[in-house]
Structure 1
């Protein structure tokens, strides 16, 4: 009976542990964000748009930035799944985007960057 209980408890906790691991590390994400700073300034538009508040925002809606038609027409809201696909390969996610970054091949690094982006408020 005890083994059955422990097995059931572990089965319930395993998805939570995986979810926590997938959540990413914001401090590591800030470091992984370094290449993005070539175009994205925090707090104002640069070559790329300001990313403060990007998590949860509808794509191509930050005031004062000239987005590509492809991104304007994408209908994307920057939730975790869309951010992950975008950071993996922007040109596949939104063909016709102006973003020149090729993407991160490492899912852990992507999750870390997403965790960092969520801190920008």
Structure 2
């Protein structure tokens, strides 16, 4: 019975361990990756997560948006081969990074967050907006868990 209690306590602590785990580059993901996986269902029509070995970790073969592998802690507009808007290209030039805080702002208001971060006018290509901040935080945690550092 004691072993069962220890096992249960360990399993219950796992989400907290992964949720607060710091990325190798110092960016922490505070959300619930399991909840983020569910929230990612609203992203799969445009995005996919494919690792460097070519394995699809999440999503389908969507190509409307860029591959989100290693997006946590990445510089805006940094996926090779993807054609970004001028606004996101400005973010790349300025070194705007997808920290959890910026990612949450971005997925809730892509154009507004990009304009605020860069000081530039223009529009982003992403028209979808995540409605709940909790979902956005969880999405970041999920994507971080699929990254090279998180996996």
Q: What TM-score does the superposition give when structure 1 sets the normalisation length?
A: 0.75
Structure 2: distance between partners of 1:107 and 1:99: 17
Larger C-alpha radius of gyration, 1 or 2? 1
By relative contact order (CA 8 Å, sep 6+), the higher-ranking structure is 1
Q: Which of structure 1's runs of 4+ aligned residues deviate more than 4 A?
A: none
Task: Output aligned runs, 1:33-112, within 5 Å.
Answer: 33-43=40-50, 46-74=63-91, 75=94, 76-94=96-114, 95-101=122-128, 103-112=129-138
Runs of 5+ consecutive residues of structure 2 not aligned to the other structure: 1-18, 21-28, 55-61, 115-121
Structure 2: distance between partners of 1:110 and 1:78: 12
More strand as a share of residues:
2
Match of 2:142 in 1: 116
1:92 positional shift: 1.2
Is 1:51–1:120's contact at 8 Å kept on the other side of the alignment?
A: no
Instruction: Please report the RMSD computed on the Cα atoms of aligned residues, expressed in angstroms.
Output: 2.0
Structure 1: distance between partners of 2:145 and 2:70: 8
Match of 2:38 in 1: 31
Runs of 5+ consecutive residues of structure 1 not aligned to the other structure: 1-18
More helix as a share of residues:
1
1:42 positional shift: 1.5
Residues 25-76 of structure 1: per-residue CA shift (max 9 Å, x gap): 1011011011111000111771110000001110111111111110010231
1:99 positional shift: 0.8
Q: What TM-score does the superposition give when structure 2 sets the normalisation length?
A: 0.61
